[in-house]
Chain A
């Protein structure tokens, strides 16, 4: 009885738990990537204990893949050698860790997954309790298979009605973040529900859960349903709130939403697109663990098809994973991007964290479909970062300025 989080942990532990309880639980999978992995390996080694379970430890090279510096190559070497030493075969270099976890069905409905990356909340879109931890916590899981959790209180986001045409999960999430504030769900679980969420594809639900960490949430859950199980391949089961007590319920009227833009310098500085339309852009980035999935690329391709990006706006497209890349190739989206003059890069984190390619310079403005617009996130601390949906990103790439897709001529 309780919230999805309470139901899930009660089931897993075999007795009732409630918000506020502290539990020690075994996880299904522990994940780390090329930047957080080496510190987790150091933590594990300092324990001088045997490895927990090689089949449940996952490494992904995504933040700097392929390596662009000797230092990055060195991080990769440390992880590769660790995987050989411990016969860990879940070492992937095929895109963003979170998408690979979904593509390879390493995160499952009803599961508990921890990752050394804050956006590990993404798998909540499948009804998996997933949360980000630091490297030391993950290193301890490598040895013990367990970690401690304080069962969080839950904030329920109840989304009534249907999203209007041209408004997406990204817009909904940004609107909610504006209502809640960047720390509005700190230490809490978030449950996303209601008609608009039930109507969403798994791709869109992953976007909601992904962005849950960006208003402080420990996890962002969507109740698994037929859509979930069709995607995950698991036998269906029920995991839903039963007489839950929520810390807070935020009701959103989906039908009133417009495309949203989070404006420099914080993710909760959110505006209707009309407030910022016309702002010139030096770069547009379409990709990331937030919006680099096939349905995102499909939206962008539908807008860019037969058109050319504005010459002042370098446009970078990065499929979230090899699976997404191959599907986008088959669907013709990659050719559409190339013909439109966009730069298509290999699957991975891309320009999101200003470490590899697409780095922005001082005074530049970039519109990104990613999740963070902190000063310095994508390069120079004197650049301005705007966050929006793939539809807004594609329309803005064409115009060279922030543009509502509905305003494009000829109309879409």
Chain B
């Protein structure tokens, strides 16, 4: 899938993605409109399906609010690519089927507005001039991604669906 890069920095918190004043709701459209509302006010006005967010270290740090990855997903972002992700954000994104790719260099190599093609399953990020190899989810996270979401995985076979992954007991 191809799209444009929205480039963000290090330590983008879930407060930046979805400020506390905007997440007192579960309404998908309200969450979509509030995504990055202060950190990147042009985001929801200009984002197109297939665009990607590229960021530095510790993306999604702070609050466990799932409203943050949900709001990104509702904007039809193809993937979030970051040098590293905060634990809860990463797990939440996987659980709801928002593609996430770890890539140490993407935020240094790519510029805001660059055209990229992303393969979320292999972690390959391609531009007209270069190819980057990121790290897609593996292990349990990959099983969840393959099922579609954590809800789908549990529906398809309960926790037994995870047997055989890294010595699950």
Seen from chain A, the residues whose Cβ lies within 8 Å of a Cβ on chain B are: 13, 15, 17, 20-24, 35-36, 38-39, 42-43, 46-49, 63-64, 69, 71-72, 74-75, 116-118, 120, 132-137, 139-140, 143-144, 146, 148, 150, 182-183, 186-187, 214, 216, 218, 266, 353-355, 359, 372, 374-377, 379, 381
Contact = CB atoms under 8 A, between A and B. Distances in A.
B86 A136 contact: no
A73 to B, nearest CB: 10
A176 B70 CA distance: 32
Contacts of A24: 159, 162, 168-169
Interface of B: 11, 13, 15-16, 19-21, 23-26, 38-39, 57-58, 61-67, 69-70, 84, 86-88, 91-92, 95-96, 139-140, 149-151, 154-155, 158-159, 162, 165-169
Contacts of B154: 47, 49, 140, 143-144
Contacts of B24: 35, 64, 69, 71-72, 75, 355
A48 B39 CA distance: 38
A117 B162 contact: no
A393 B49 CA distance: 47
Contact of B87 (A120, A140, A214, A216): A216
A374 B60 CA distance: 12
B139 A22 contact: yes
A347 B85 CA distance: 33
Given A140-B154, A183-B57, A374-B13, A22 B25 contact: no
A328 B129 CA distance: 65
B144 to A, nearest CB: 9
Contact of B38 (A49, A74, A381): A381
B58 A186 contact: yes
Contacts of A359: 21
A187 B89 CA distance: 12
B64 A355 contact: no
Contacts of A36: 64-66
Contacts of B19: 354, 376, 381
B58 A216 contact: yes
Given A21-B166, A39-B66, A150 B58 contact: no
B21 A354 contact: yes
B169 A182 contact: no
A308 B25 CA distance: 39
B20 A354 contact: yes
A136 B93 CA distance: 10
Contacts of A71: 24-25
Given A22-B139, A116-B64, A353-B20, A134 B151 contact: no
Contacts of B168: 22-24, 148
A372 B15 contact: yes
Nearest to A42: B26
Given A21-B169, A374-B15, A47 B21 contact: no
B63 A118 contact: yes
A116 B63 CA distance: 9
B38 A376 contact: yes
B13 A137 contact: no
B55 to A, nearest CB: 13
The 3 tightest CB contacts between A and B, nearest first, are: A134-B92, A353-B20, A183-B58
B26 A39 contact: yes
Contacts of A183: 11, 57-58, 61, 84, 86
A118 B91 CA distance: 12
Contacts of A377: 13, 15, 20
A76 B158 CA distance: 30
B66 to A, nearest CB: 4
A374 B139 CA distance: 32
